[in-house]
Amino acid sequence: MKFVWIFVAGLMTALNVAAAESRPGILFIGNSFTYAHFSPVRFYRAETVTDLNGGGVGGMPALFKSFTQQAGIDYDVYLETRGGAGLDYHLENKLGVIGKRGWDKVVMHGFSTLDQDKPRDPAKLIATAKQMADFLRARNPKVELYLMATWSRADETYPKEGAWFGEPIEAMARDVRAAYDRAAAGAGVKLVIPVGEAWTRAMQTGVADPNPYDGVDEGKLDLWAHDHYHASAYGTYLEALVIFGSITGRDPRSLGDQECSAFELGFRLSQVRALQKVAFEQLASAHLVEPNPLVPPKPAGPVRCVQGR
């Protein structure tokens, strides 16, 4: 009987390993815009993803993982991040970590001002995106590559020292998107994910306040954290919704207004509906998703959140 149990245990282990290897692996390469600095999302459900740097981070990738599990899609989710870094840092310091396996999908982005030393200059992003794409394809020629175009920073727009001072809040996101389009063309990536444009849409449609320096209007969300730079929980949630829709092709509204991660983060149902609607409209405008029926309402509660990898 002892040998039977040993055999069964060995078989179960082998099956679990085989199942894990059959799941597609998605890697997020980025910085504090990925791991949600100054947000409660930073360490949210960190046990459900793998932080390749061992920092115990959940961040936006953990939200993405939660969304996909609720949608019945199973990814092994990994992240490799460094605060204040562009793709040049990862190329110089982290290829040994990134190259340990061939990835099925990779989502990556550079520094928020395009170049930390020369804000608004896209040259470094264009060059490093190509270098990283070449490296990733050398490990897996079939890897699907995505670039995430990031959001306008209020601290770069409203203070006099900002690189976009005096311009409307949407200007930075527009310039960033143009730079990512050029980088995508040079690197041959599958898609530029329109996160910054979704933020702009949220502000233009009255869901979010465009200027946190003069206070946040009643009934509107502040997408930025207290530094007016990084994303708040609301901003990170919108970021994750847009990435979810871009990767899976699913209508973000199909998660429903009682989506479990929003429940755990303390969002109101009206806030969830508004953010999912913004994400859908941005994705639909780019023909990245088709409208899908909304899921039937479910009782909200933390037990609905799927645990594990």
Q: What is the pLDDT of residues 248-279, one digit of tens each?
A: 999 999 999 999 999 999 999 999 999 999 99
46 found inside a domain: yes
pLDDT of residue 299: 46
5 found inside a domain: no
pLDDT of residue 21: 52
Domain at 102, CATH number: 3.40.50.1110
Domain limits for position 280: 24-304
pLDDT of residue 6: 43
Residue-level length of the chain: 309
> How many domains does the chain divide into?
1
193 found inside a domain: yes
Q: Is the pLDDT of residue 12 over 70?
A: no
Q: Is the pLDDT of residue 8 over 70?
A: no
pLDDT of residue 307: 56
45 found inside a domain: yes
10 found inside a domain: no
66 found inside a domain: yes
- In this prediction, residue 293 has a pLDDT band, given cuts at 50, 70 and 90, of low
Q: Is the pLDDT of residue 25 over 80?
A: yes
CA 300 to chain centre: 24
> Which is nearest to 147 in space by CA: 103, 186, 96, 183?
183
CA 223 to chain centre: 14
Q: Which residues contact 29 (CB under 8 A, 6 or more apart)?
A: 79, 80, 81, 87, 90, 98, 106, 107, 108, 109, 132
Q: Is the pLDDT of residue 77 over 50?
A: yes
Tell me the average pLDDT across 19-24.
Answer: 64
278 found inside a domain: yes
Q: Is the pLDDT of residue 143 over 90?
A: yes
13 found inside a domain: no
Question: How many other C-beta atoms can be found within 10 angstroms of the C-beta atom of residue 301?
Answer: 11
pLDDT of residue 292: 82
Sequential DSSP letters for 281-305: HHHHHTTS----PPPPP----GGGS
Tell me the average pLDDT across 135-159.
Answer: 98
pTM of the model: 0.91
Tell me the average pLDDT across 28-37.
Answer: 98
Distance between CA 107 and CA 202 in Å, rounded? 23
| pLDDT above 70: percentage of residues in the chain | 87
Q: Is the pLDDT of residue 1 over 80?
A: no
| pLDDT above 90: percentage of residues in the chain | 87
- In this prediction, residue 62 has a pLDDT band, given cuts at 50, 70 and 90, of very high
Distance between CA 270 and CA 73 in Å, rounded? 26
Q: Is the pLDDT of residue 50 over 70?
A: yes
Q: Is the pLDDT of residue 49 over 70?
A: yes
Tell me the average pLDDT across 164-169.
Answer: 98
Tell me the average pLDDT across 289-301.
Answer: 64
Q: Which two tokens stand for residue 287?
A: 């023909």
Question: How many other C-beta atoms can be found within 10 angstroms of the C-beta atom of residue 4?
Answer: 8
pLDDT of residue 2: 46
